[in-house]
Amino acid sequence: MRSILSFLISFLIVAPSWGQMYDPVKWSFNVDVVNENEVDLVIRADIEEGWYVYSQDAGDGPISTSFAFFDNDKVELIGSVTEGEAIEDYDPNFEATLRFFKSEADFTQRIKLLTQDTTLIKGEFEFMVCNKGMCLPPEWVDIEVVLPAAQVAAEESKSFTSTASEQGIWSIFLIAFLSGFVALLTPCVFPMIPMTVSFFTKQSENKAAGIRNAIIYGLSIIFIYVILGVAVSAIFGADALNNMATNVYFNIAFFLLLVIFAASFLGAFELTMPNSWINKADSASDRGGFIGIFFMAFTLALVSFSCTGPIVGTLLVEAASGGSYMGPIIGMLGFSIAIALPFAFFAAFPGWLNSLPQSGGWLNSVKVVLGFLELALAFKFLSNADLVLQSHLLEREVFIAIWIIIFGLLTMYLLGKLKLAHDSDLPYISVSRLFMATLTGAFTVYMIPGLWGAPLKLINAFPPPMHYSESPYGVGNTAGGSASAAHHSEEEGQHLGPQGIMVFHDYETGLEHARKVNKPVMLDFTGWACVNCRKMEEQVWSDAEVKRLLSEEMVLISLYVDERTKLPADEQYETTIAGKNKKVKTVGDRWMVMQTERYKTNSQPFYLVLDTDENVLVEPANYQDYGSVSVFKEWLQRGLDAFTK
């Protein structure tokens, strides 16, 4: 009876205004993860100014908001729907004090997940909306929301960025730590170990003091290099570091920098700090005490720069281009710990100094080997720039050919068939040198089939992707064999993509095709210079079943956020992202803004499965958490199943 009375009142109030349609409330649904088995379904009302929606316990008169969920054996409702704090005030429409919400209202239902599959939960709710002068008839709204699978929900609750950062940070630390040990074997650092340790042990009052001073020396080395990492992060900032990997100018600058480092290691010249810096640091080291020890460490850093500088520079380039603010800092921490350890270790056990090999020509050989490696790495950055510009000057075959030559020359050098300016005579080849030559020689031979289309999975993160080549299907393959094959399309706007999968590079065109064929979309936010994107495409997408799902069951749309093709002048605009103005001038800018605004992330690769109405069917995927064939395959299948349902 109360419902009928409320409806009649609202009918009489609204009747004079039928000449205008009112729609003052917009409803949205969000799923917030609580833990691995529980989620909160949040139903939000965005209410126009002057209107209000009634509480679930509004009071006598109006229709209170009420919810009903349909039976579903895959979930369990925990308690009833909760709501925020309602306003309690006089309502002139019903001449009573009632409870209602203005501006916005959140209603939350906690749900326990009982299955390893995604679940479509359905229900409905009724609400009534009024303003000071009228009420609208009560309305029913359907609830249809896809809930994540149990366990997967926990993964969704993690920040993809922080997960990526944790794994990336450990990788940076390990690589930097190993690079520090390599730096120890250079002629600028290795001879300093026995000299410095002997100085501390002989000049100290007792053994304990010698060990203490050597430890302080090592800690000073760590401090100096970590400060360098802090400076790089502070100067460039998090935003700049995040954009380095896809910035053409950064990549070209890194290429030139690493070529200079390589030339220095190969003996063309020596990179040295100004003598005035070294002399001042050396003078300060004579003061004694902690300050003197610190400046001794600083002097080591300056004197050894010709050997450590290129290694440190390369580490900073790699860590910074990974986009992590902490990357350069962690990199320098790992590097400096490796440098500092021998000084503290041999100070504690000075008798073991006799076990160190004698300095000699082998130290220069270490520098030369590092020079070849620096040169090979340099072309990775040049390749990034070429991919972003799409200039096709350094396609896959050319890149592999350059690496074959570099590692072939390195093999000849290790075997004594190639001699550089500062090398001493090599009367014989040591066992360790022969082993290294065997490895580099085998690696050189391994790369040769890559010229004819072999995937080269061991190095797939370095060369350009398979489809960025003169022969995307491999030389002699009837499916390809010319550059024109790379532009073959089955549908208008569709192109040959990774693993021979046809792909759209325009969102609207791909979405329209998905609607036409009634298939879900696999949306791929990627980058030409994205290393992890290439790893996914080469290591995961190459799986037969993954390739089949992407080729036959879904429509693949790959949006390159670093695509530099200019937008027409009338499509260029400015927007605000994270409080900063952003000029959208290129196609890549458009996709970057789309990813950031819609999905609140700017990391790549970033994958979503969408239906033809652009609804997200399952939780987003990335490289860190979905970088194996089995996990990614299962994710794709869940998306396909959700679309089918």
Average pLDDT for residues 518-524, to the nearest whole number? Answer: 96
Between 363 and 559, the more confident residue is 559
Least confident interval from 48-57, 189-198, 498-507, 569-578: 189-198
Q: Could you tell me the two tokens for 180?
A: 């520090």
pLDDT tier at 10, thresholds 50, 70, 90 = very low
Question: Given a cut of 50, is residue 8 above it in pLDDT?
Answer: no
Q: Which residues contact 401 (CB under 8 A, 6 or more apart)?
A: 451
pLDDT at 472: 62
Q: Of 532, 504, 531, 528, which Cα lies nearest the Cα of 610? A: 504
Rounded Cα gap, residues 528 and 204, in angstroms: 57
Residue 365 or residue 485, greater confidence: 365
What is the DSSP track for 164-206?
HHHHHHHHHHHHHHHHHHHHHTSTTTTTHHHHHHHHHHHHSSS
Average pLDDT rounded to a whole number, residues 23-34: 86
The more confidently predicted of residues 130 and 309 is 130
Identify the weakest region by mean pLDDT among 325-329, 405-409, 452-456. 325-329
Q: What is the pLDDT of residue 312?
A: 75
Contact 624, 160 (CB under 8 A): yes
Higher pLDDT, 114 or 194: 114
Rounded CA separation 135/6 (Å): 10
pLDDT-derived band at 22 (thresholds 50, 70, 90) equals low
Question: Who wins on pLDDT, 56 or 157?
Answer: 56
546 versus 93: which is more confidently predicted? 546
Most confident among 310-314, 561-565, 588-592 (mean pLDDT): 588-592
Give the lowest-confidence range in 41-45, 143-147, 206-210.
206-210
Full DSSP string of 248-273: HHHHHHHHHHHHHHHHHHTTS-----
**pLDDT band at residue 405 using 50, 70 and 90 as cut-offs:** very high
In this prediction, residues 20-25 reach a mean pLDDT of 66
What pLDDT score was predicted for residue 261? 82
**Which residues are 473's β-sheet partners?**
none
State pLDDT tens for residues 496-509: 888 889 999 999 99
Output 290 or 599, whichever has higher pLDDT. Answer: 599
| Domains identified in the chain and CATH numbers | 2-155 (2.60.40.1250), 160-359 (no CATH), 395-477 (no CATH), 493-644 (3.40.30.10)
* Res. 44 pLDDT band, cuts 50 70 90: very high
Q: Using the predicted structure, report yes or no on whether residue 484 has a pLDDT greater than 60.
A: no
- pLDDT category at 167 given cuts 50, 70, 90 is very low
Which pLDDT belongs to residue 198? Answer: 67
Mean local confidence (pLDDT), 220-225: 86
Residue 222 has pLDDT above 80, yes or no: yes
Asked whether the predicted pLDDT for residue 360 surpasses 50, the reply is: yes
Lowest mean pLDDT among 45-59, 235-249, 580-594: 235-249
Q: Output 624 or 307, whichever has higher pLDDT.
A: 624
So what's the pLDDT on residue 100? Answer: 95
Query: Sorting pLDDT into bands at 50, 70 and 90, what band is 419?
Result: confident
Residue that wins the pLDDT comparison between 175 and 118: 175
What lies within 8 Å, CB to CB, of 96 at 6+ separation is 59, 60, 61, 90
Q: Give the pLDDT confidence score for residue 479 in this predicted structure.
A: 46
Is the model's pLDDT at 601 over the cut of 90?
Answer: no
List pLDDT tens digits, range 562-571: 787 889 988 8
pLDDT tier for residue 617 given thresholds of 50, 70 and 90: very high
Average pLDDT of the residues of the chain: 79
C-alpha to C-alpha distances, 199 to 36, 174, 195, 357, 485, nearest whole angstrom:
58, 31, 6, 19, 67
Q: Is the pLDDT of residue 401 over 70?
A: yes
Per residue in 542-580, pLDDT (tens digit) is 899 999 999 999 999 999 987 878 899 888 888 876 555
Residue 612 contacts residue 515 (beta carbons within 8 Å)? yes
- What pLDDT does 215 receive? 83
